[in-house]
Amino acid sequence: TPNWQWNVLAAAPAVLLLAFQATWVWPFFSDDSFISLRYAERLLDGHGLTWTEGADGLPERVEGYSNLLWVLLTAGLGALGFDLVTAARLLGAILTMAALYLLAVAQRPCDVRTTALAAVPPLLVAGAQTTMVWTLAGLEGPLLLALLAWGFAGITHAGYRSGDDATWSTARLLRLGIPFALACWTRPDAPLWALCAGAGIAAIAPRRVGFGGAIGRAFRFGLPALVAVGGQLAFRLAYYGDYVPNTAHVKAEFDPASFGPGLAYVQAALAAHPGATGLAAIGALLLFVRARPRTFVLPLLLPLFGWFTYLAAIGGDHFPGYRLLHGALAPLALLAGLGLRALGTGGIATTLAVVLGIAATGIDASWARTHPKSREARGEDWEWRDRQVGIALARAFGDRRPLLAVEAAGALPFYSRLPALDLLGLCDRTIATTPFPGWLDTMRPGIPRPPGHLRGNGAYAMDRAPDLMVFKQPLPTFVSGCEFESDPRFLDGYRCVLMDLGEREILPDRTNEIVVPLWLRVAGRVGVERRADQVVVPGYLFGSFRLPGPVIHRHQPPTGDPAFDASLAENGALTLAFLNRREPRAVPDRDGRLVLAMAAASHCTFALPLAAGRWRAAAAPPAQGVSVRLRAAGGTWQTDLRLRERAQVELELTAPPTAPATIAAVTLQRIQ
């Protein structure tokens, strides 16, 4: 008779392997994980399940997450006092270990021989690249893995007793459907698992129950999932006013052209797990040949085929570690384990099965540490760089609540705690529902088109008038940003400032010099402040860069116009020269406010329109040796400047000849 001691003993080797593998990719934590954490944080702060507030200061209700149950669980741990990043990592570890235990339980260990066999499925999961990368990465994969391990383990137990009609009683079928129902609250595409598992249950029904009886079994099994989906749909319509999560508008393309890359993704994902995939295939064949095939194979195989077809249809996924294989690991491992049990009960057969399981695990675990997708995750630390940038922006501008536009909607908005605009549309309904621009079809060959990164609406983003913008690259490169390059509101209204945070510890054992190209709206909340007879220009705007025109122009085919191509090259050279310069730069002062840092004897300028009158400029606070001069177009530099009418005025700021200087602002006072 199985008991918990044998179950624990069967799962223990996999738990040890998991600890060994998961720490290899430390400190990888996906940027998208911070989106979920921002929802959890705002929920705890009383702002509901929202990502940001709108122009009216009220929360914007947009479902930018696709893992409701995960958000609620992390918020629950946050309410207990856990840091949310720690909460997500802790949940990932606990749920993955729970999945390993459930996979061991599914094999019904009751002695040394069966315990050795039961150890194989959890070992295969623990050694998988997907598990290694995503256990501590902050997204919902471990929860989905645990729920599907629970669900398919229950189906497997029922399969052992398939000859007993009580196994398929209404109460039992409803209980079997509960983990699949919870999975539907974990991912919006999880109903596919319930649907295909129900089809498998119907397919193994004996002939005597008839077609109607088989469909009835599937319906009773799927009823909890149906209720879960209906309940969430009702909540979504009432709270967000939409039928699907906002992320579905962004990512669910279902373009026939996506099937090729999607199929390649599935093939690459399975090839990256040769041990688990190979043993699952062998197990399925052995079950067909030597065991009761209908009781095990179809409820496990049909969901796998359905899931892989779905992944091919959506074009796969761009994240490292083959994230979307996570849930599939449970039925794959169970097929492998059940197939190895079918080899026989003798000592030789058991030894062969265990050796095959250990060898397959070793292959996958070794391959996981050398695969390019794993190394990509291990080397990814830009989220922690964005953490430092977000903290710096919060200290510098938090009291002014500027609108921050970003192309990476995770760590930077999470740590800045500022109102934010997601330029890729995951957390913005207008951008998410904007049709794909026609010029996407004219993109030059070789330009990547990652799923979930093809939405944008540059005109709408400019209408929102963000005060700050931070792009993934120094210049905007995705749809909205590409359209900025030809928008006069961006070219005339924004300036780029190099925010130099110096050497910052992004991780306990790693420091980086952080210099961020920060685009600021000149007339925005962190730009020029105008009063009746006074104008205050933040020091960091001096020496800022105005983009003269398109540089990347990636969204258009070559024009064939030599003059235009030459202008692109010239604009690019000017941009590169600005990005590479060492000073002047914006740096935080002791209070975290951004000030301008200038080298000795250096000077920099800034231009703005001023009304008629006599104007005098001074650095604020006053700094010894710092001079400020003004001139109108075509005029000479002066300390006082009289304007007969509104005109464009250039300001020159000069540091002392023998010492560097930091300037918080330049104040222009109209004295007459």
Q: DSSP string of 465-511?
A: --SEEE-SSSS--SHHHHHHTT-HHHHHHEEEEEEEEEEEEEETTEE
Q: What dihedral angle (degrees, nearest 10) is formed by the CA atoms of 152, 102, 75, 402?
A: -70
Query: Cα 621–623–625 angle (5° rounding)?
Result: 155
274-284 residue pLDDT tens = 999 999 998 88
Least confident of 45-59, 444-458, 473-487, 488-502: 444-458
CA pair distance 297, 159, nearest whole angstrom: 10
366-388 residue pLDDT tens = 999 998 888 888 888 889 999 99
Nearest one of 526, 459, 421, 525 to 53, comparing CA atoms: 421
CA pair distance 653, 620, nearest whole angstrom: 12
Model confidence at 445, in pLDDT bands (50, 70, 90)? Answer: very low
What Rg, from alpha-carbon coordinates, does the chain have? Answer: 30
Q: State residue 566's pLDDT score.
A: 85
H-helix segments, 291-428: 293-314, 329-341, 347-370, 372-378, 382-397, 411-416
CA pair distance 191, 182, nearest whole angstrom: 10
Give the 3-state secondary structure of residue 648. Answer: strand
Please state the pTM of the whole predicted model: 0.92
Element (H, E) at 578: helix 562-580
Q: What dihedral angle (degrees, nearest 10) is formed by the CA atoms of 532, 534, 538, 539?
A: 170
CB atoms within 10 A of CB 515: 16
Q: State residue 479's pLDDT score.
A: 78
CA pair distance 335, 341, nearest whole angstrom: 10
Instruction: Evaluate if residue 352 carries a pLDDT over 70.
Output: yes
Query: Can you read off the two tokens belonging to residue 114?
Result: 């069966």
Query: How many helices, marked H, and strands, marked E, lie in the chain?
Result: 25, 18
Q: State residue 66's pLDDT score.
A: 92
CA distances from 384 to 75, 85, 380, 519, 628 (A): 21, 12, 9, 20, 39
Which residues, 6+ apart, have CB-to-CB distance to 572 below 8 Å?
551
Model confidence at 208, in pLDDT bands (50, 70, 90)? Answer: confident
Per the prediction, the chain carries an average pLDDT of 88
CA pair distance 182, 73, nearest whole angstrom: 12
Which residues, 6+ apart, have CB-to-CB distance to 567 below 8 Å?
549, 550
Angle between helix 329-341 and helix 84-106 axes, rounded to 10 deg: 20
What are phi and psi for residue 587, nearest 5 degrees?
-130, 150
Which residues, 6+ apart, have CB-to-CB distance to 273 below 8 Å?
128, 129, 130, 322, 325, 329, 332, 364, 367
Share of the chain above pLDDT 70, in %: 92
Model confidence at 206, in pLDDT bands (50, 70, 90)? Answer: confident
Query: Can you read off the two tokens belonging to residue 51?
Result: 């990502």
CB atoms within 10 A of CB 411: 28
539-561 residue pLDDT tens = 999 989 998 888 876 555 556 67
141-184 residue pLDDT tens = 999 999 999 999 998 877 665 545 556 788 889 999 999 999 99
Instruction: Evaluate if residue 446 carries a pLDDT over 50.
Output: no
CA pair distance 200, 193, nearest whole angstrom: 11
Amino acid residing at 434: T
Query: Per-residue pLDDT averaged across 565-585, rounded?
Result: 85
Model confidence at 410, in pLDDT bands (50, 70, 90)? Answer: very high
Q: State residue 169's pLDDT score.
A: 84
